Amino acid sequence: MPLPMDPLQMVHSGPRKKRPRQMGTSMVSPPHDIKFQDLVLYILEKKMGTTRRAFLMELARRKGFRVENELSDSITHIVAENNSGSEVLEWLQVQNIKASSQLELLDVSWLIESMGAGKPVEMTGKHQLVRRDYSASPNPELQKTPPLAVKKISQYACQRRTTLNNCNHIFTDAFEVLAENYEFRENEVFCLAFMRAASVLKSLPFTIISMKDTEGIPCLGDKVKCVIEEIIEDGESSEVKAVLNDERYQSFKLFTSVFGVGLKTSEKWFRMGFRTLSKIKSDKTLKFTPMQKAGFLYYEDLVSCVTRAEAEAVGVLVKEAVWAFLPDAFVTMTGGFRRGKKIGHDVDFLITSPGSTDEDEEQLLPKVINLWERKLHHQRVDSGKCSQQDGKTWKAIRVDLVMCPYERRAFALLGWTGSRQFERDLRRYATHERKMMLDNHALYDKTKKIFLKAESEEEIFAHLGLDYLEPWERNA
């Protein structure tokens, strides 16, 4: 399936080839709707270069900004790259243009952030090349802002706030395809490399539009940067294109979409020459596990997305069943839905009870499943022939139920909320930076040789010396 292409992130497409150098900046381009009438931008070519300037002009126009080819009195914002405020003012003097109090001199970071947001963002000190008050004097003393401070980006997802607002889909989608392909080939090193790269780009508040934008960003190795550069130049990655067309990748992607089928089974089926699910299901020599049988039986339901409304409806059924046996139990939806996602592929629930015994915890899930099986049996008996005539009126959804002791609920809640990469980095951080061991059950301090207690997720973050991140900030 082809990767989605956002016009903000892609101008060129097609096969990689050497392009002729553009002469001049007055390029003819199709008209774009202007959304922000009060802003008139001029992008300075000085220190930027002709090609990058033309590239940024086209991107900005596609996002609804009015960008002029030539300098005039109507310009309200001048955008520059690698220029100080005094350098831009000197350039304006050479052009015989007076810098009025209404003219904003801005670093290109403002334009990049604005394009990523789809609207002009607030101009702050980090964006403004000069701070000035022209009303005070005809020859004001111009105060330059400090050099643009590049905030250090952590290599750990647990030190980055990652919302669902991903400004770099065109790159992260590509990385996830490559990571999945390496996972299918059991190459853990490259799989993790691309997963970490995707994770860090998801946390960025701006869109990467040049290789210069990648400077200082961790987890971007040479192999990753090659993919980024090709996407910037061509709008797509030839490596991703090859993977999506690869028979082995397509087969593994299809086989693992069946509930209960992992890499070993996929490898076995691929080596046996299978390429379609219909051939696998009809083969009499194959034996399937109970999970795989369910996976084939309800395949269309299980591969379709679960909506938040469906997840909440399942939550009502889960709570009703759990409270029939443990009336004081807490039932919390975890996973992607707790992180703010609107759709998912399954629903996870954490169950804990302050008054439960070890025996209660061991017996709860079998009791709940038995209750549902009895209800399902009665429904089938009651419906009789009508169900056969009317067809299936329900949807199969994968539900994960997790029971944990009440005193360990904070660790279980943190572990089951995700995302997967966030949890990996959180544990990696605990091990390498704090000399601690963290899992879904406990936090152990190897230096003090004690288990650290926690009543909430906030306390676990505090033990690790981390700023607390809300669940919706953990979409790494």
Residue pLDDT tens, the chain, 476 long: 433 333 333 333 333 443 433 333 333 445 678 888 889 999 998 888 888 888 899 989 988 999 999 888 888 999 998 888 878 887 887 777 666 667 889 999 899 989 988 899 988 878 888 654 333 333 333 333 333 334 589 999 999 999 999 999 999 999 999 999 999 999 999 999 999 999 999 999 889 999 999 999 999 999 999 999 999 999 999 999 999 999 999 999 999 999 999 999 999 999 999 999 999 999 999 999 999 999 999 999 999 999 999 999 999 999 999 999 999 999 999 999 999 999 999 999 999 999 899 999 999 999 999 999 998 888 777 766 444 446 788 999 999 999 999 999 999 999 999 999 999 999 999 999 999 999 999 999 999 999 999 999 999 999 999 999 999 999 99
Structure-token pair, residue 126: 């980090």
Strand order in the sheet with 399-403: 330-333, 347-352, 399-403
Question: CA-to-CA distance for 104 and 132, rounded, in angstroms?
Answer: 10
The catalytic site residues sit at 346, 348, 400
Question: CA-to-CA distance for 350 and 452, rounded, in angstroms?
Answer: 21
Question: Which residue do the tokens 């009543």 mark?
Answer: 455
Question: CA-to-CA distance for 53 and 38, rounded, in angstroms?
Answer: 22
Where do the domains of the chain lie? Answer: 41-144, 247-303, 306-387+396-473
Architecture of domain 247-303: Orthogonal Bundle (1.10)
Architecture of domain 306-387+396-473: 2-Layer Sandwich (3.30)
CATH of domain 41-144: 3.40.50.10190
Between CA 62 and CA 65, with CA 63 as vertex, the angle to 5 degrees is 95
Quick one: which of 180, 327, 338, 313 has its CA closest to 244? 180
Give the β-pairing of 143-144 and 399-403.
unpaired
28 backbone φψ class: left, alpha, beta (φ>0; ψ -120 to 50): beta
Question: CA-to-CA distance for 269 and 252, rounded, in angstroms?
Answer: 9
Phi, psi of 455 (to 5 degrees): -95, -10
Residue 100 burial class via C-beta count within 10 angstroms: exposed 0-12, middle 13-18, buried 19 and up: exposed
Residue 207 burial class via C-beta count within 10 angstroms: exposed 0-12, middle 13-18, buried 19 and up: buried
